[in-house]
Amino acid sequence: MNINLGIHSPVEQINDPLFNDKGIQVFIKRDDMIHPLISGNKWRKLKYILLQAQSQNKTHLVTFGGAYSNHLLATAAAAAKFGFNSTGVVRGEQVDNDVLLLCRLHGMKLIFTNRDSYRDKQALFNLHFGDDSNAFFIDEGGASAEGVQGVAELVNELPETYDHIFCACGTGTTAAGIINGLTRVKLDTRFNGIPVLKGGDFLRAEIDKYLNAPSNYDLHTAYHFGGYGKVTPVLINFIKQFVVSTGILIEPVYTGKMLFAIYDMATNNYFKPGSKILAIHTGGLIGLLGMRDKFV
Ligand SMILES: *Cc1c(COP(=O)(O)O)cnc(C)c1O
């Protein structure tokens, strides 16, 4: 089985009077268009992980996530597409929702586990699959050196040079990949990460451990809106406005917070006139289905 997806991720300009006023240009790379379920950065992270599983003749992918995890869904869909079996170990008591339905439809078996035991993923893997020689461990979110390697390829696809690249950060794996990609082609594009969790400074260590060379980058830690998965009316209104005025669908857990940051920083004259800024749309749109009540 040839493990690959043709990458369709065009760069589009976002037109907004704010950006004209400030003399800047803002673009968005549509990694959400790579695949509807194997959402942008999750495919990039999975690519070399799946190739590694294949090279070790493993046929059963085992991974971990919360009940609305984009990574679980991406792994389920990728497993079905590339001929693997899959199991998702889900944090928390047994539930059902739209994301888990889609996981099951792609053949993923689900194991629910309490929050205490969830902390030690390797122990859970050994407990359930210790004697299954076909089973292959994939960490939560695809966090791994292979994940970083896959994301770095994004940089090769850029049609021009930007002054800034912005990306939402969860584990920081995607950030590390983009930074490594920029270093490799010797671009002095500034990387800007928007941690979606509270206290995002811890990400610096997570990112740095994957960097091929020391690199200067910025984490803007004030755009978490209360923490992971948390939203406020200001964020929700921004997202509605953005979707209506651009026709580009975004969600509140990741891309909404990242784009809010760009608009807010532009308003506050953070960018030099003439700057070109690229936002990465990392996908994850199915997660919107879990936030129905936030959009009333
Ligand atoms: C998982 C995810 C991220 C975060 O990626 P990390 O590599 O964990 O930092 C960003 N955006 C979306 C849509 C995601 O699903």
126 CA to centre of ligand 1 in angstroms: 26
Residue 30 CB neighbour total at 10 angstroms: 17
Atom of ligand 1 nearest to the CA of 171: 8
Let me know: does 227 contact 258? Beta carbons within 8 Å.
no
The span from the CA of 137 to the CA of 62, in Å, is: 5
Residue-by-residue pLDDT tens, the chain, 296 positions:
899 999 999 999 999 999 999 999 999 999 999 999 998 899 999 999 999 999 999 999 999 999 999 999 999 999 999 999 999 999 999 999 999 999 999 999 999 999 999 999 999 999 999 999 999 999 999 999 999 999 999 999 999 999 999 999 999 999 999 999 999 999 889 999 999 999 999 999 999 999 999 999 999 999 999 999 999 999 999 999 999 999 999 999 999 999 999 999 999 999 999 999 999 999 999 999 889 999 98
Residue 284 beta carbon below 6 angstroms from any ligand 1 atom: yes
282 CA to centre of ligand 1 in angstroms: 7
pLDDT at residue 1, rounded to an integer: 84
> Do 176 and 199 belong together in one domain?
yes
> Do 250 and 237 belong together in one domain?
yes
Atom of ligand 1 nearest to the CA of 147: 7
Establish how many alpha carbons lie within 13 A of residue 1's alpha carbon, considering only the half-sphere containing its beta carbon: 20
174 CA to centre of ligand 1 in angstroms: 7
169 CA to centre of ligand 1 in angstroms: 6
pLDDT at residue 296, rounded to an integer: 81
Overall domain count for the chain: 2
Give SS3 for 210. Answer: coil
Token pair 């090769």: residue = 156
Residue 282 beta carbon below 6 angstroms from any ligand 1 atom: yes
CA-to-CA separations, 52 to 58, 134, 137, in angstroms, rounded: 9, 13, 11
Where in the sequence is the domain holding 207, given as residue range(s)?
11-39+145-295
pLDDT at residue 40, rounded to an integer: 87
Is position 1 within any domain?
no
| Domain-ending residue, one of 99, 119, 142 | 142
Atom of ligand 1 nearest to the CA of 203: 9
Is position 165 within any domain?
yes
pLDDT at residue 208, rounded to an integer: 98
